[in-house]
Each structure stands twice: as C-alpha cells, then as structure tokens.
Amino acid sequence: MRVMNILHDSIVDGRGLRTVIFFAGCPHHCVGCHNPQSWNQENGTVMTDEEIFQEVIRNELADVTFSGGEPFLQSKEIEPLAQRLKQEGKNIWCYTGFLYEELMNHPHHLALLKHIDVLVDGRFEVSKRDLSLLFKGSNNQRIIDVPNSLKCGTECMIDDSN
C-alpha cells in the first residue's frame, strides 16, 4: 500500500483519540484540498499490511481513521488490514470523496465498507466550507453509520451537531 503519513493522537479525524493513516492517490482533486500532495498515487511510502498494523497497534488507546488521498483507490489492499484492526477491537472511520451509494456498486469497496464503523463521504466543496462543522470540511459531506446502513439497506446518518 502507498501511505503518505501515519499520524498519532488526532482528535479531529473522528470521535476520540485516533491514529490516522493517510493513503496516497486521489482522483477527485478537490479545489481547496488540505492534502493535494496525496493526489499522486506514486507519492508516499510503500508499506505492507503488517508494517501499518504494527504502527497502528502501538497506540493501544487510539482508534483508527483511514484518510488520504482516497483510501478506496486501494480498497482491495486495505480490506485485510481493516479486518485485522477490527479483530483488535479498533473503531474505524474512513474519509472518502466518493458517495456511499457509489461505493456499494464495487465489490472491493463493499468488502472494505463492511469493516468500517463511520464513513465521511462526499467531495470537499470549498464553496460549502464551514469551519464550525465537526469531522468534515464542507456541509455537503455526510457522516454515515456504516453497520446500520448495511443492515437497513439505506444510508443512516450520524448527528454531527455535538
């Protein structure tokens, strides 16, 4: 997997203390992106599932966030990592420029979704930027409870007002 960075002890990339894995590659190229160096999938460092796993579990107290770039560009590779992290009891958030509905139509994306607890979906839109929002950059983005959404067959939003 191509990884731009692994950041420990974040409190802005999901609820609670989190270890954030920033994956390389993004097709969306959102205007105002906070991480444009991640657009090129050849940037970053090649890391194995085991190397990332060991780096993440070093911090026993932190849960995990997948960010980027676009994590779903590497969904086939990330899925086994997500499965192992869930087995360790980690709560997983994931940021994506794709919409939940788009991800449901791709088998590798769906396989990864099954290990994600919360999905923040939608492209960042600078015209809809709102600094008062929790866990998202623009008000078009949604915070989705993935396990309940998969059960119900429709998107179940999480109230992000607190």
- 34 within 8 A of 95, measured Cβ to Cβ: no
Whole-number pLDDT of residue 160: 65
AA letter at 32: G
pLDDT per position as a tens digit, 1-34? 999 999 999 999 999 999 999 999 999 988 888 8
Question: Domains in the chain, ordered, with CATH?
Answer: 2-152 (3.20.20.70)
- 135 within 8 A of 127, measured Cβ to Cβ: no
Integer angstrom CA distances of residue 78 from 8, 45, 94, 133: 19, 15, 11, 28
Whole-number pLDDT of residue 154: 92
Helix (H, G, I), strand (E, B), or coil: what is residue 115?
Answer: coil
pLDDT < 70: residue spans in the chain: 160-162
